[in-house]
């Protein structure tokens, strides 16, 4: 377990870039935190660090559910999915079989879906800071 603190959007993106350098080509990363905690901001840095696209091109997939970047990074948001059966139409099984990085917001709602070797990143807001814990 590693813990970081960031004090701005720029620092959170930079931390995401650092995290990206340590990720294997095939990884599941759960981004865990309340609404507005900074999950998408951290995803911007990870996507940039993986060389898939610039942070400006990364947006929350709340309504589309999945965004694809560079053919090897998938940003998934399960906030609107209420039951496991709602996941069937997303094709997550196929994505899990690819050599790709899956960044999953709200994935903790479906813990049995993810491989045991996943990376969980917990983001907490503490005043003006973000405490980011890697597990």
Residue 44, domain extent:
2-134
User: Is the pLDDT at 88 greater than 90, yes or no?
Assistant: no
Q: What is the pLDDT of residue 61?
A: 93
Question: Which domain CATH number covers 97?
Answer: 3.40.50.300
33-52: per-residue pLDDT in tens? Answer: 999 999 999 999 999 999 99
94-126: per-residue pLDDT in tens? Answer: 999 999 999 999 999 999 999 999 999 999 999
**Phi then psi for 106, rounded to 5 degrees?**
65, 20
Burial class (CB in 10 A: 0-12, 13-18, 19+), 63: exposed
Q: What is the pLDDT of residue 86?
A: 80
Q: What is the mean pLDDT of residues 16-30?
A: 98
- Specify the number of domains making up the chain: 1
Tell me the two tokens of residue 55.
């942070």
Pairing of the two strands 27-32 and 2-6? unpaired
Per mean pLDDT, which range of 9-13, 82-86, 115-119 is the poorest?
Answer: 82-86
The answer to whether residues 130 and 37 touch, using CB atoms and an 8 Å cutoff, is yes
Q: What share of the chain is helix, strand, coil (3-state, %, to 5)?
A: 35, 30, 35
């Amino acid at each position: 377990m590693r813990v970081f603190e960031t004090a701005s959007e720029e620092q959170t993106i930079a931390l995401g870039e650092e995290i990206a350098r340590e990720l294997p080509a095939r990884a599941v990363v759960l981004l865990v935190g309340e609404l507005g905690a900074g999950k998408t901001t951290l995803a911007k840095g990870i996507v940039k660090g993986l060389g898939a696209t610039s942070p400006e091109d990364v947006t929350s997939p709340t309504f589309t559910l999945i965004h694809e970047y560079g053919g090897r990074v998938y940003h998934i948001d399960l906030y609107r999915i209420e039951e496991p059966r709602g996941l069937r139409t997303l094709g997550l099984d196929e994505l899990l079989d690819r050599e790709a990085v899956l960044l999953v917001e709200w994935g903790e709602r479906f813990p049995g879906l993810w491989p045991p070797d996943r990376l969980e990143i917990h983001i907490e807001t503490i005043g003006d800071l973000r405490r980011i814990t890697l597990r």
